[in-house]
Structure 1
């Protein structure tokens, strides 16, 4: 987990970054912290440019979230409830969790889509209640893109800062992200094993 991570990002180029950011929202845990953090290290090495990386990462993040939004928007509450009831254990949620998220979304307004982009677990999940509530597509895309751009800028600047000051920055980011992914997966499996329906 050293230079090969950076070479993977560099080899894929800007299109590769965009694709990884799409997958980050659909196939967790592929954390944006790793993707954009390592891209920041590549910026420090001078092998990539800031603006294209930011554009690719933001476009990929927005597209990935929009896919989730469209799925929820097309399904709606009525068609989604049987799916949640059937696969609740693996989703580690029940229907009242979905309803509660929907009420939270409606209570706090559409700006919550922007704010949630800065919260590791919720920045992807917020697309579901937004879709179920049939939020207008253009505001959703604008809030999502704006939040993703700010978050990605912070990650790129952090990775770039580390890359300028520490030659082992890529290794540190890689191992830290693997540890985070392992903890997340362990937490998920614990939730699945201990999950009990309240119905």
Structure 2
């Protein structure tokens, strides 16, 4: 099943080129979440075969990720707060909780956005609380792009070097995700200590 999906993505990306990468990464980052590895790994493999420029493929992937994240961000800006205030009580979300989340993102949105882009099953949705809190747009775009760039580059290089070996790609991805999560825990701990130290000054 996975091989069939990968072949379809390879064919689609191959026919649509860099625009195909942009569109699929936009969808992956917004309202139609699916694993970004089934886009960028095949793109890296096509680059290995000389059918794509790896740098342009990476740029298209990052640009698509940012565009999808901005779509969610502005969706949350326009409808998020009204929706949560109206329906949040059915999910035990109080208006005070919404206010606390907004304050948190105003102060710590940069680290949250960057980290969120690197966590599976979170990267697609981290834009919503950022938009809800009306996080500074430049800061949001910068840290979203940085997080997306790391992930896109990793996937593209995996495709470039071992894209024709599905089992090896899956194995490497498990190790890479584990390393990323451990690194984020370390960064989070360092950030927490830094904030506490600043509060005591």
Task: Provide the TM-score with structure 1 as the length reference.
Answer: 0.71
Which ranges of structure 1 fall in alignment gaps of 5 or more residues? 177-199
Q: How many Å apart are 1:122 and its aligned residue?
A: 1.1
Given that residues 25 and 39 in structure 2 are in contact (C-alpha distance below 8 angstroms), is that contact kept between their aligned partners in structure 1?
yes
Closer, same or farther: CA 27–74 of 1 in aligned 2, 3 Å? closer
Q: Which has the higher contact order (CA 8 A, sep 6+)?
A: 1
Closer, same or farther: CA 79–37 of 1 in aligned 2, 3 Å? same
Which ranges of structure 2 fall in alignment gaps of 5 or more residues? 174-201
Structure 2 distance, partners of 1:107, 1:82, is 26
Given that residues 109 and 135 in structure 2 are in contact (C-alpha distance below 8 angstroms), is that contact kept between their aligned partners in structure 1?
no
Point out the more displaced range, 5-14 or 49-58.
5-14
**Counterpart for residue 84 of structure 2:** 80
Q: Is 1:59 paired with 2:63?
A: yes
The count of aligned residue pairs is 165
**Counterpart for residue 195 of structure 1:** none
**Correspondence for 2:28 among 6, 24, 43:** 24
**Counterpart for residue 39 of structure 2:** 35
Q: How many Å apart are 1:169 and its aligned residue?
A: 4.1
Closer, same or farther: CA 125–3 of 1 in aligned 2, 3 Å? closer
Given that residues 41 and 169 in structure 1 are in contact (C-alpha distance below 8 angstroms), is that contact kept between their aligned partners in structure 2?
no
Q: How many Å apart are 1:159 and its aligned residue?
A: 1.4
Task: Provide the TM-score with structure 2 as the length reference.
Answer: 0.70
Q: How many Å apart are 1:30 and its aligned residue?
A: 1.9
Structure 2 distance, partners of 1:159, 1:57, is 13
Q: How many Å apart are 1:101 and its aligned residue?
A: 5.5
**Counterpart for residue 155 of structure 2:** 155
Given that residues 80 and 132 in structure 2 are in contact (C-alpha distance below 8 angstroms), is that contact kept between their aligned partners in structure 1?
yes
